[in-house]
Amino acid sequence: MDASATIAPHIFRQYDIRGIVGEDLDGSVAERVGRAYASDLRDATGKARPRVAVGHDNRPSSPDLADALIGGLRGAGADVLFIGTVPTPLVYWAEKTRNTDGGVMITGSHNPPEWNGIKMTVQGRAIYGDAITRLRERIVSGDLLSGDGGLEREDVIEAYISDVAGRFSLSRPVRVAVDCGNGSAALVAPRLFEAIGAEVTPLFCTSDGTFPNHHPDPTVDENLEDLMQAVRDERCEVGVAFDGDADRLGAVDENGKVVRGDLLLLLFGLDLLERKGPGQKLVFDVKCSQVLPEVFAEAGGEPIMWKTGHSLMKEKMRETGAPLAGELSGHICVGGDLYYGFDDALFDACFLVDLLSRSDRYLSDMVGEFPRYVSTPEIRVEVTEESKWEVVEAAREHFRDGHEVVDVDGVRVLFGDGWGLLRASNTQPVLVLRYEARDEARLAEIRETMEGFLEAQGVEV
């Protein structure tokens, strides 16, 4: 069989494999990905029978895809530890605590129910970019090893809850509204919050991978409306929400106002400085507010701006020894002696609740102390795959003359009292724009300057 004719190249993305079930992602694809991954893992570890933790989310298509994937893994010689239906962080957790050489998660994350995907790690490190491309190349060329791997099953949820809850001791009870969005967080979050001593108001905490109440993406404010209302109605101190596989956190304060991922990251960083002393490093992505590096540096920390992408953030965290990293999107990784260093929104939510329990201030007061900037949401402009890189390079050259430009990921043009970001999406033929300034008038000026350049390049915004 010509493998290249039966596997769609576009499902192999920058950070994972992702497609529409029944169209370009099915059991046959999952089985071959499993064989390619296990073949790569054998090469990477030098082991004839490496051990792999496998889990899946609660989408209707996930169990069958997981079965096929496991068949491929075992067929290439890998021993599988199957942990069942879980949020993504539990696969990472199992890899850290169950002596495995890699981890594979079947999840569609925050995509619509008809989508699904495959996230992979090797020896505790997320694979992305060229490593994912190499899996497809192995499949197409038929460079797949054979073997006869074993299968072991373990329900790790209780052990995970015990581990995470054991890291927190609330100074006082905190009333928290928890919106699981019917995602796989529903299997863990309510019990975890009760285990740390929080008073829980649950929303959509029954597992249903068709997501009947709202889409499981906490970065979209519309999806947080029920949580906002519940916080106000039940007089909670905080509300937390998870994406479909619980590796991204959303939060609202006691008034039901959204607290973005970059400000949550800053709060965590300031708490770390209080506990550990000055000089702590924090990695943040180029989309984050200028408030974050400004306030964190003033408090004695070392902020490090880096590329967007949770896999890239974790690599930078490892490279710099930073105990904390995160993105505007809600991926937050806590490491050092506090946790394992992967993006776990369940742990992060406990961190936030614990932080509140140790303070006599409301979340709104904590955030209200930060300098005020106004900003746009992320603006996405469709272009061709080729032109997105050309436009970013042209912007780098254009704005370098007269402005400071940070170019770790696209171009972040600094205007003194604000900034504009132009970057190419790693996963789609899209330019990503975002602007921030001290006031609305300056924001409009910065936006006009940046988008004027784009229009001169023939890009319609």
Q: For 33-90, write each residue's pLDDT tens digit.
A: 999 999 999 999 999 999 999 999 999 999 999 999 999 999 999 999 999 999 999 9
Of 35, 136, 248, 331, the catalytic one is 331
> Which of 161, 154, 158 is closest to 53 using CA atoms?
154
445 sits in which H/E element: helix 440-456
Instruction: Check pLDDT > 50 for residue 3.
Output: no
For the CA atoms of 82, 83, 88, 92, what is the dihedral angle to 10 degrees? Answer: -80
Measured between alpha carbons, how far is 454 from 405 in angstroms, rounded to an integer? 16
Range scoring the smallest mean pLDDT among 177-191, 320-334, 420-434? 420-434
> What value does the mean pLDDT take over residues 350-360?
98
pLDDT in tens, 382-434: 999 889 999 999 999 999 999 999 999 999 999 989 999 999 988 788 999 99
Domain 374-456, CATH among 3.30.2130.10, 3.30.310.50, 1.10.10.10, 3.40.50.2300: 3.30.310.50
Q: Look at residue 23 and give its three-state secondary structure.
A: coil
Cβ burial of 214 (10 Å; 0-12, 13-18, 19+) is buried
pLDDT in tens, 146-181: 999 999 999 999 999 999 999 999 999 999 999 999
pLDDT at 385: 87
Measured between alpha carbons, how far is 113 from 102 in angstroms, rounded to an integer? 26
374 half-sphere exposure, CB direction, 13 A CA radius: 10
Tell me the pairing of strands 332-334 and 281-285.
unpaired
Is there a catalytic annotation at residue 42?
no
Contact 17, 30 (CB under 8 A): no
Contact 178, 362 (CB under 8 A): no
Locate 426 and state its tokens.
């790693």
3-155 classified as CATH 2.60.40.10? no
Q: Look at residue 2 and give its three-state secondary structure.
A: coil
Output the CA–CA distances (angstroms, integers) from residue 303 to 222, 317, 326, 343, 366, in the order listed. 31, 11, 11, 18, 19
Output the CA–CA distances (angstroms, integers) from residue 283 to 65, 268, 312, 435, in the order listed. 34, 12, 10, 20
Contact 79, 49 (CB under 8 A): yes
> What value does the mean pLDDT take over residues 193-209?
98
Is there a catalytic annotation at residue 109?
yes
Of 39, 62, 109, 425, the catalytic one is 109
* CATH architecture, range 156-372: 3-Layer(aba) Sandwich (3.40)
Of the chain, the end-to-end C-alpha distance in Å amounts to 45
Contact 63, 184 (CB under 8 A): no
pLDDT in tens, 102-124: 999 999 998 889 999 999 999 99
**Phi and psi for 104 in degrees, rounded to 5?**
-135, 130
**Phi and psi for 334 in degrees, rounded to 5?**
-110, 130
Q: What sign has the CA pseudo-torsion 434, 437, 441, 447? A: negative
Q: Look at residue 369 and give its three-state secondary structure.
A: coil
Of 18, 59, 434, 442, the catalytic one is 18
Amino acid at 167: R
pLDDT at 110: 87
Is there a catalytic annotation at residue 110?
no
Measured between alpha carbons, how far is 266 from 216 in angstroms, rounded to an integer? 24
pLDDT at 426: 80
Amino acid at 214: H
> What value does the mean pLDDT take over residues 204-224?
96
- Kindly report, as residue ranges, where domains of CATH 3.40.120.10 are found in the chain: 3-155, 156-372
Contact 248, 254 (CB under 8 A): no
Mean pLDDT of the chain: 96
pLDDT at 14: 87
Q: Which residue has the tokens 């924090």?
A: 282
